[in-house]
């Protein structure tokens, strides 16, 4: 991939506008009342309810009201909370392993240019390989249990963190490195003053993606390896044709996913106050 | 290593013997950027360097700072050969080179901190220089919250804060709009009048070169070298009235003619 | 993209030298690349030999398996065909629908507000979680796989097109207006080219998610002859070398979708920058 600093961008970020370009048009009316949002949600809810009541077989589709009821039952049952805790624990373990390795390797690859460019090509290749495809190998080598799942989750997290860190280290402005050198700064100080602060926002955007992917990894691992946590719950509901519970669980996943993304964005922002 | 302000001051002023360039040459592969460069800047002297793009002005300035090594010849500052960047020689960049994650004050204090000063103390000294360049009130802003002129004031203050005996200016006002540039020129002159040091002023602007310099070196040729050296005997302190004087106009057109002549036979890819 | 740090041009004089430096660097690079690759492969081979089990993949094993899998495996090419037919059909549908949705959302705020919770919600839901619902509706077959691919690929396309059409530089629109451009000119001449970088970034995401979706669906549905199933069976029967060769095909397609298409576009439209 290109090592040019101007070109560098995180390969998996959504098409976000470049903050340094102030000429972008962005309609941002403060505190606009979103009628569209309410109308959209209302129409969706009505269609869901009516379709469930009058159109579909109850095995395939449940009206919104019944799904909400199932949601309440879910929230009051300890089974759900235990499953959630189990999944969360897996997520945290995998996330930290993946992030740690991703940061370390990213810095090494980005900084040691000769070996780095070779390793980077492999990281890129593995990154475009669907991580799910690794599951059969992990299964047949390591079997069932906790750690195979944690490895899968960290595999999901590792790549975005590693790749954005590489980019971050490479994107360190040569001018700022020169400034540091012209003031006689040593290597350690240069890292503290220049390399780390300018890499951090990149790494954070990788971590944000890692958080989202790690969440997917948890569900995948719990579904395809040793069933546990939320994955086991989903599997059970679908096998027993408890459609209302299944829908409720998927809704929970959606909100978990949304909040995981929001947390990631918050963390990313938090570490880059100096940017626009 | 920690130093007090007065020690720094001593280092910069009493022992300052200016900077001398002897037979300097720089090659990139077979390409010769410049050669046979000889000149000297006295301890209280400003020398401007002008020349067409591609003539090696910026490379020359980097050699003087020790950021890059010349292939022939040597640079001697304060009686010592410059082989790597060292305290006493500071540089101001065209694109400011401010750290976007540091506030204006911390940017100004940067050089002091790097040289081993405690952060609190460095900030205290830095705030004097913030005042000197008229940035007071903006200490806590980040660079992107400052205008171009203010950013370069911070860049200038950062260089001045280490009390250099030699100040290298790499087209410092080139990225600013015309009005701001003019303002900054006179402010820089005022600062220098109060606290003169050796200064190398690399610029594209011929007016600027004449206004700032005690001498103007016209760089160019094939390979690049010193084409002409023009003395600028305009009295100091210089200000807006200097620009209006007929002597200034005369010198300016002289330098202009030299640059135009040398431009025709300089190995430059026009851009 | 959000994190571009402006890199200054260092000194006019550095411009005079790039050819010399670049050549030397690339020559050194390929040596380093070869050396590093060799070291990785040797460590892998020896590592498996010392600590691994005999069915685990080794570089030599994978290399010797390549002709075997490519030419003598009757199930491979039909599987490749089946799987990628689903991926491409799903991607085409997603690009069309997602881009249309996103462009409308970018131009009409009311629509954007109404659809945003659905687009974002579907985007955030792990696709594995919806697979049980999809199989419930469509059964355990290829149409379920297709549906999951579309479910995975539409949201990133829609979000990208939405971002792209929202963030057309005002200056372009002003220029167009000042020259009296008609509405159609603005769309064809400005809106689409200006949001092309976004669409491309969205397509990269969408294609990655589509590949993941197809593999997940095939793993979980467990029937059919797709490449995913083939990989799963090879791995479960402890033919790891062969499974890795099969995965490499998946990777190559992934690389093509992620990088190849962008390269082609950039060659065709030289003005086109990554942004």
Tokens of residue A81, six digits: 């909370």
Q: Is C115:C173 a contact under the CB 8 Å cutoff?
A: no
> Quick one: pLDDT at residue A31?
62
* Residue keyed to tokens 């930290």: A96
Among C226, C254, C243, C250, residue whose Cα is nearest residue C65: C243
Chain B residues lying within 8 Å of C16, measured CB to CB: 28, 31, 33, 54, 269
Q: Is the pLDDT of residue C109 over 50?
A: yes
Task: Report the run of H or E that residue C104 belongs to, with start and end.
Answer: helix C76-107
Does C4 contact chain B (CB < 8 Å)? no
- ipTM summary value: 0.79
Residues of chain C neighbouring A172 (CB-CB closer than 8 A): 5
Q: Which residues of B touch A (CB under 8 A)?
A: 65, 67, 84-87, 90-91, 93, 95, 97, 99-102, 110-111, 114-115, 142-144, 162
Can you give the pLDDT at residue A101?
95
Partners of residue B87 in chain A, C-beta under 8 Å: 184
Comparing C31 with B14, which gets the higher pLDDT? C31
Of A55-59, B50-54, B86-90, B93-97, the poorest mean pLDDT is in: A55-59
Of B29, B58, B271, the CB nearest to C11: B58
CA dihedral C206, C207, C213, C218 (to 10 degrees): 160
Cα angle A236, A240, A243; round to 5:
95
Q: What is the pLDDT of residues B150-195, one digit of tens each?
A: 999 999 999 999 889 999 999 999 888 888 888 899 999 999 998 8
The answer to whether residue A250 sits within a structural domain is yes
Which chains have 3 or more CB–CB distances shorter than 8 Å to chain A?
B, C
Q: List CB contacts (< 8 A) between A174 and chain B.
A: none
For chain A, report the end-to-end CA distance as a whole number of angstroms. Answer: 27
In sequence order, what are the residues at sequence separation of 6 or more whose Cβ sits closer than 8 angstroms to the Cβ of residue B45? B18, B198, B199, B214, B215
CA B195/CA B160 separation, integer angstroms:
10
Contacts of A14 in chain C (CB under 8 A): 156, 159-160, 163, 201-202, 205
Q: Which residue of A has its CA nearest to C125?
A: A254
Instruction: Categorize the per-residue pLDDT at B96 as very low, low, confident or very high, splitting at 50, 70 and 90.
Output: confident
Helix (H) or strand (E) holding C51: helix C18-51
Tokens of C4: 């571009």
Distance from CA of B136 to the nearest CA of C (A): 27
* Strand, coil or helix: A43: helix
Strand arrangement, sheet containing B31-41: B31-41, B19-28, B72-77, B80-81
Cβ–Cβ below 8 Å for C129 and A129: no
Is residue B120 packed enough to be buried (19+ CB in 10 Å), middle (13-18) or exposed (0-12)? exposed
Is B174 touching C (CB cutoff 8 A)? no
pLDDT in tens, A17-35: 333 333 334 444 456 677 8
Q: How much is the pLDDT for A275?
A: 61
- Sequence-ordered list of residues with C-beta below 8 angstroms from that of A100, at least 6 positions apart, any chain: none
In DSSP terms, which residues pair with C139 in a beta bridge?
none
Alpha-carbon gap, residue C154 to C147, rounded angstroms: 11
Domain housing A178: 77-270
Residue A115 lies in a domain: yes
The CA distance from B206 to B75, in Å, is 26
Report how far residue C61's alpha carbon sits from residue C59's, in angstroms, rounded to the nearest whole number. Answer: 5
Q: Is the model's pLDDT at C10 over the cut of 60? A: no
Percentage above 90 pLDDT, chain B: 35
Please, which pLDDT band fits residue C25 given cuts at 50, 70 and 90?
low
Helix, strand or coil, per DSSP, at residue B46: strand
Chain B: closest CA distance from residue C68 (Å)? 50
Domain count, chain A: 1
* Model confidence at C15: pLDDT above 70: no
Element (H, E) at A205: helix A196-224
pLDDT for the residue A24: 38
Average pLDDT over residues A210-217: 88
Q: Does A184 touch chain B (CB under 8 A)?
A: yes
> Is C88's pLDDT higher than 70?
yes
Q: In this predicted model, what pLDDT tens digit does every residue of A189-209 receive, in sequence order?
A: 888 888 888 888 888 888 888
In terms of Cα–Cα distance, which of C261, C68, C103, C78 is closest to C188?
C103
Tell me what pLDDT residue A206 has.
Answer: 86
The whole-number average pLDDT for the span C40-67 is 83
| Residue A20 belongs to a domain | no
pLDDT band at C168 (very low <50, low <70, confident <90, very high): confident
Instruction: Name residue, tokens 């080179």.
Output: B97
Please report whether residue A257 resides in a domain. yes
pLDDT band at C66 (very low <50, low <70, confident <90, very high): confident
Contact of B43 with B67, CB cutoff 8 Å: no
pLDDT of residue B270: 43
Strand partners of residue B45: none
Residue of B nearest to A272 (CA): B101
Choose the weakest-confidence range: B130-134, C26-30, C78-82: C26-30
Given this model, what pLDDT does residue B231 score?
92
Question: How large is the average pLDDT for residues C107-131?
Answer: 86
Please give the pLDDT value at position A20: 38
Cβ-contact A208, A265 below 8 angstroms? yes
Beta partners for B215? B47, B231
Q: Sort out which chain A residues have CB atoms less than 8 A from C153's CB and list them.
A: none
Q: Where does B5-88+163-264 sit in CATH, by number? A: 3.40.50.300
Nearest CA-CA partner of B192 in B148, B229, B243, B238: B238
Of the listed ranges A193-202, B1-10, C166-175, the least confidently predicted one is B1-10
Displacement of CA C94 from its chain's centroid (Å): 13
Q: Does A179 touch chain B (CB under 8 A)?
A: yes
Contact A117 C274 (CB under 8 A): no
Q: Is A182 on the interface with B (CB under 8 A)?
A: yes
pLDDT > 70: percent of chain B: 92
Shortest CB distance from B59 goes to which of C5, C11, C21?
Answer: C11
When pLDDT is averaged across residues C43-64 and rounded to a whole number, the result is 83
CA-based Rg of chain C, rounded to a whole angstrom?
Answer: 23
> What is the DSSP track for B68-99?
S--SEEEEEETTEE-SS--TTEEEE-TT----
pLDDT digits (tens, 9 = 90+) for A44-98: 888 887 777 777 777 777 788 888 888 888 888 888 899 899 999 999 999 999 9
Distance between CA atoms of C100 and C97, rounded to whole angstroms?
A: 5
Residue B10 reports pLDDT greater than 50: no
The answer to whether B54 contacts C16, with C-beta atoms less than 8 Å apart, is: yes
pLDDT band with cut points at 50, 70 and 90 for residue A6:
very low
Q: What mean pLDDT is reported for chain B?
A: 86
Cβ of B269 within 8 Å of Cβ of C15? The answer is: yes
Q: Determine the distance in angstroms separating the CA of A266 from the nearest CA of chain B, rounded to an integer.
A: 18
Highest mean pLDDT among B48-57, B90-99, C27-36, C191-200: B90-99
Q: Please write the tens of the pLDDT for every residue from B257-268.
A: 998 888 887 654
More confident residue, B1 or C145: C145
Strands B31-41 and B19-28: antiparallel
C56 pLDDT higher than 90: no
Regarding predicted confidence, which is higher, C243 or C1?
C243
Look at residue B36 and tell me whether its pLDDT is greater than 50.
Answer: yes
- For A143-191, write each residue's pLDDT tens digit: 888 889 999 999 999 999 999 998 888 888 888 999 998 988 888 888 8
Chain A, window 129-148: residues with a beta carbon less than 8 angstroms from a chain B beta carbon: none
Using pLDDT thresholds of 50, 70 and 90, give the confidence band for residue C12: very low
Partners of residue A274 in chain B, C-beta under 8 Å: 100-102, 142-144
CB B223 within 8 A of CB B268: no
Q: Which residues of A touch C166 (CB under 8 A)?
A: 25-27
Pairwise pLDDT comparison (C8 vs B186), residue with the higher score:
B186
- For residue A252, what is the nearest residue in chain C, using CA coordinates? C125
pLDDT of residue A102: 93
Which residues in chain A have their CB less than 8 angstroms from residue C157's CB? Answer: none
Q: Which of B31, B30, B29, B22 is nearest to B224 (CA)?
A: B31
Band (pLDDT 50/70/90 cuts) for residue C24 is low
Read off the CATH number of the domain in which A194 is found: 1.10.3720.10
Q: Does B71 or A264 have the greater pLDDT score?
A: B71
Query: Per-residue confidence at C264, pLDDT binned at 50, 70, 90?
Result: confident
**For C12, nearest residue in chain B (alpha carbons):** B54
Residue A228, pLDDT > 60, answer yes
CATH architecture of the domain with range C70-268: Orthogonal Bundle (1.10)
């Amino acid at each position: 991939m290109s090592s040019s600093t101007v070109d560098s961008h995180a390969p998996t970020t959504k098409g976000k506008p470049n903050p340094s370009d102030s000429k972008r048009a962005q309609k941002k009316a403060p505190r606009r009342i979103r009628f569209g949002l309410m109308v959209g949600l209302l129409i969706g809810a009505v269609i869901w309810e009516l379709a469930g009541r009058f159109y579909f077989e109850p095995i395939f589709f449940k009206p919104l009201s019944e799904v909400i009821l199932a949601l309440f039952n879910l929230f009051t049952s300890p089974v759900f909370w235990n499953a959630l805790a189990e999944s969360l624990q897996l997520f945290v373990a995998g996330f930290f392993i993946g992030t740690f390795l991703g940061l370390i390797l990213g810095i090494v690859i980005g900084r040691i240019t000769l070996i780095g460019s070779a390793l980077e090509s492999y990281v890129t290749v593995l990154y475009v390989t669907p991580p799910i495809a690794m599951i059969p190998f992990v299964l047949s080598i390591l079997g069932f249990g906790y750690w195979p799942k944690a490895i899968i989750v960290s595999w999901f997290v590792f790549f975005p963190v590693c790749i954005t860190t590489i980019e971050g280290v490479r994107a360190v402005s040569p001018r700022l490195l020169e400034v540091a050198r012209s003031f006689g700064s040593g290597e350690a100080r240069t890292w503290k003053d220049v390399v780390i602060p300018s890499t951090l926002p990149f790494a954070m955007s990788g971590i944000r993606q890692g958080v989202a992917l790690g969440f997917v990894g948890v569900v995948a691992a719990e579904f395809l390896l040793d069933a546990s946590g939320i994955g086991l719950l989903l599997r059970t509901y679908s096998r027993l044709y408890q459609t209302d519970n299944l829908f409720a669980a998927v809704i929970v996943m959606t909100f978990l996913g949304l909040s995981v993304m929001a947390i990631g964005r918050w963390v990313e922002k938090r570490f880059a106050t100096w940017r626009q | 290593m920690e130093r007090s302000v007065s020690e720094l001051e001593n280092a910069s002023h009493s022992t300052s013997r200016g900077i001398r360039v002897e037979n300097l040459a720089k090659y990139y592969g077979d390409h010769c950027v410049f050669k046979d460069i000889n000149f000297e800047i006295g301890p209280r002297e400003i020398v401007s360097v002008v020349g067409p793009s591609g003539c090696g002005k910026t490379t020359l300035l980097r050699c003087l700072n020790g950021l890059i090594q010349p292939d022939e010849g040597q640079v001697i500052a304060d009686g010592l050969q410059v082989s790597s960047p060292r305290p006493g020689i500071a540089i101001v960049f065209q694109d400011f080179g401010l750290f976007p994650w540091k506030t204006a004050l911390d940017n100004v204090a940067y050089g002091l901190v790097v040289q081993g000063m405690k952060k609190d103390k460095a900030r205290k000294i830095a705030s004097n220089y913030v005042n000197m360049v008229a940035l007071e009130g903006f200490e806590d802003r980040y660079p992107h919250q400052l205008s171009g002129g203010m950013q370069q004031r911070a860049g200038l203050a950062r260089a001045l804060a280490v009390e250099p005996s030699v100040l290298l200016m790499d087209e410092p006002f080139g990225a600013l709009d015309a009005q701001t540039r003019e303002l900054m020129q006179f402010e820089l002159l005022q600062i220098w009048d109060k606290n003169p040091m050796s200064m190398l002023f690399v610029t594209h602007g011929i007016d600027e070169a004449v206004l700032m310099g005690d001498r103007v070196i016209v760089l160019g040729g094939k390979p690049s070298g010193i084409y002409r050296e023009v003395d600028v005997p305009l009295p100091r302190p210089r200000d807006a009235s200097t620009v209006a004087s007929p002597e200034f106009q005369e010198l300016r057109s002289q330098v202009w003619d030299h640059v135009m002549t040398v431009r025709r036979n300089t190995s430059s890819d026009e851009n | 993209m959000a994190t571009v740090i402006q890199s200054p041009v260092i000194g006019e004089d550095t411009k005079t030298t790039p050819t010399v430096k670049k050549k030397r660097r690339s020559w050194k690079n390929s040596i380093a690349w070869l050396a590093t690759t060799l070291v990785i492969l040797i460590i892998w081979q020896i590592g498996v030999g010392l600590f691994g089990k005999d069915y685990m993949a080794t570089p030599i094993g994978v290399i010797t398996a390549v002709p075997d899998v490519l030419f003598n495996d009757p199930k491979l090419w039909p599987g490749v065909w089946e799987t990628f037919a689903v991926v491409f059909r799903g991607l085409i549908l997603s690009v069309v629908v997602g881009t249309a949705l996103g462009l409308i959302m970018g131009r009409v705020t009311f629509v954007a507000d109404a659809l945003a919770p659905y687009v974002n919600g579907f985007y955030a839901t792990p696709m594995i979680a919806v697979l049980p619902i999809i199989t419930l509706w469509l059964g355990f077959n290829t149409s379920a796989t297709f549906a999951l691919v579309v479910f995975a690929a539409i949201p990133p396309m829609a979000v990208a097109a939405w971002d792209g059409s929202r963030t057309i530089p005002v200056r372009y629109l002003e220029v167009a207006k000042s020259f009296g451009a008609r509405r159609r000119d603005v769309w064809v001449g400005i809106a689409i080219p200006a949001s092309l970088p976004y669409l491309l970034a969205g397509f990269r995401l969408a294609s990655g998610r589509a590949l993941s979706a197809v593999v997940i669906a095939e793993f979980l549905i467990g029937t059919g002859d797709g490449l995913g199933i083939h990989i799963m069976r090879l791995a479960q029967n402890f033919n790891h070398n062969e499974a890795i060769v099969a995965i490499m095909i998946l990777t190559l397609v992934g690389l093509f979708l992620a990088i190849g298409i962008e390269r082609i576009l950039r060659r065709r439209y030289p003005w086109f920058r990554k942004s």
